[in-house]
């Protein structure tokens, strides 16, 4: 399993915890990222702090895939930037193969950047429009001193690997469609032979039919190259199809995490239930009346001034007095009868399985 309870992550034994044949690849421990902001209110300048990521922990094991899901602004992309060391955390630690990387100097990070690569969301802005595909893919090879004297052959190999014509090496990004540009972005991430890929909503900007093709490609590459993924998405169907484990984030914190069978089959946090309830129901296609929907009231609170206690309480139909005064701990709940229940953790004072509220998530047939 990839995901373990938060209280276990901080324990020294977390790195050696036995789990089938998978060794820990990445360990995130009590990760925090705050951003200072200034606002003009009338004639006064006010100062605040955006609590983008606020004490999250998880473990990703070699060969596994962890999905991060939640509404916009919940901290998913900030987490990805911290793991790739594009940003530095306010506190907490990030261990890659047991080595702390969040505090390394840039020159010490360079070898690790080969191991951890990122696929960005927007295939239009993530590629330099003034460079040819060959120049784009040559840059990481040059930076890391790879394929010296054989750069062209390696670039053509990468293009073929992602399903593009290797003879198009001299074309510019504007000559490709959105799906093809995203394939170029994938090829760039694969150029340095990474072990871990952070995919930040890699298909959300693409048409539905193209999404299926790109997901097919990522699934194929994951198996062939033995890659580990942290996959960020809003689409619950994509997460369910691609990921082994799921962490549901809300306002900088993890609300619930476990394997996909636990999250999709027996969700216990009200926010997880609301997300699944909002997903397309396959029974509607079959002519069966749709299941009851959970309609959340109000907007997501500001991360500058999050609610006290449970951050979801202002939109939760279960909220009681304790939810305003005491922050729930991410821990196993209702563990009886499930051998893996200790790895299904929920941050809620009143967790409860509500299967009648959870719609069957409509997963596209991406095997065609």
* Count of domains observed in the chain: 1
Quick one: which of 330, 346, 364 has its CA closest to 239?
364
Whether residue 68 is predicted with pLDDT greater than 90 in this model: the reply is yes
Q: Does residue 363 lie in a domain region?
A: no
pLDDT band at 341 (very low <50, low <70, confident <90, very high): low
% the chain with pLDDT above 90: 60
Q: CB count, 10 Å around CB of 35?
A: 15
CATH number of the domain encompassing residue 320: 3.40.50.300
The DSSP output letter for 167 is: G
Q: Does residue 232 lie in a domain region?
A: yes
Q: Does residue 220 lie in a domain region?
A: yes
Q: Does residue 146 lie in a domain region?
A: no
Whether residue 366 is predicted with pLDDT greater than 70 in this model: the reply is no
pLDDT of residue 157: 96
Q: Does residue 158 lie in a domain region?
A: no
Q: Which tokens hold the place of 343?
A: 């790895």
Q: Does residue 245 lie in a domain region?
A: yes
pLDDT band at 35 (very low <50, low <70, confident <90, very high): very high
Q: What is the mean pLDDT of residues 146-164?
A: 93
Model pLDDT for residues 162-204, shown as the tens digit of each residue = 999 999 999 999 999 999 999 999 999 999 999 999 999 998 8
SS3 34: strand
Q: Does residue 262 lie in a domain region?
A: yes
Whether residue 46 is predicted with pLDDT greater than 50 in this model: the reply is yes
Q: Does residue 184 lie in a domain region?
A: no
Q: Which domain holds residue 306?
A: 6-121+201-357
Q: Which tokens hold the place of 336?
A: 């009886």
Whether residue 156 is predicted with pLDDT greater than 90 in this model: the reply is yes
Please give the sequence-ordered ranges of beta strands (E in DSSP) within 70-145, or none if there are none. Answer: 91-96, 99-100, 116-119
Return the bridge partners of 96, or none: 26, 99
The DSSP output letter for 85 is: T
Whether residue 340 is predicted with pLDDT greater than 70 in this model: the reply is no
Q: What is the mean pLDDT of residues 6-13?
A: 38
């Amino acid at each position: 399993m990839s995901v373990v309870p938060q209280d276990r992550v901080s324990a020294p034994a977390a790195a050696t915890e036995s789990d089938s044949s998978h060794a820990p690849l990445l360990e995130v421990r009590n990760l925090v990222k705050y951003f200072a902001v200034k606002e003009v209110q009338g004639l006064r300048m006010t100062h605040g702090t955006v609590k983008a990521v606020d004490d999250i922990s998880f473990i990703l094991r070699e060969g596994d895939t962890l999905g991060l899901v939640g509404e916009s602004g919940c901290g998913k992309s900030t987490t990805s930037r911290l793991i790739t060391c594009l940003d530095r955390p306010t506190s907490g630690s990030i261990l890659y193969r047991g080595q702390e990387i969040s505090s390394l100097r840039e020159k010490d990070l360079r070898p690790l950047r080969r191991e951890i690569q990122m696929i960005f969301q927007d295939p239009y802005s993530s590629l330099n429009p003034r460079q040819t595909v060959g120049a784009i893919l040559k840059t990481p090879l040059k930076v890391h001193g790879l394929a010296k004297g054989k750069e062209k052959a390696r670039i053509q190999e990468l293009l073929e690997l992602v399903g593009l014509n290797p003879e198009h090496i001299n074309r510019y990004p504007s000559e490709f469609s959105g799906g093809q540009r995203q394939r170029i972005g994938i090829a760039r991430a694969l150029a340095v032979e990474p072990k871990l890929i952070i995919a930040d909503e890699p298909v959300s900007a693409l048409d539905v039919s193209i999404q299926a093709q790109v997901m097919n490609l990522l699934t194929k590459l994951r198996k062939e190259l033995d890659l580990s993924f942290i996959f960020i998405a809003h689409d619950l169907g994509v997460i369910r199809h691609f990921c082994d484990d799921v962490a549901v984030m809300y306002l900088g914190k993890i609300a619930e995490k476990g394997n996909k069978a636990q999250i999709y089959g027996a969700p216990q946090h009200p926010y997880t239930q609301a997300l699944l309830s909002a997903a397309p129901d396959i029974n509607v296609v079959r002519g069966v009346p749709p299941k009851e929907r959970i309609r959340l009231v109000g907007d997501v609170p500001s991360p500058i001034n999050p609610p006290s206690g449970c951050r979801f309480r202002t939109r939760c139909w279960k909220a009681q007095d304790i939810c305003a005064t005491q922050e729930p701990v991410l821990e196993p709940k209702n563990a009886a009868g499930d051998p893996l229940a200790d790895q299904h953790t929920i941050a809620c004072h009143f967790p409860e399985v509500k299967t009648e509220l959870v719609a069957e998530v409509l997963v596209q047939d991406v095997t065609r």
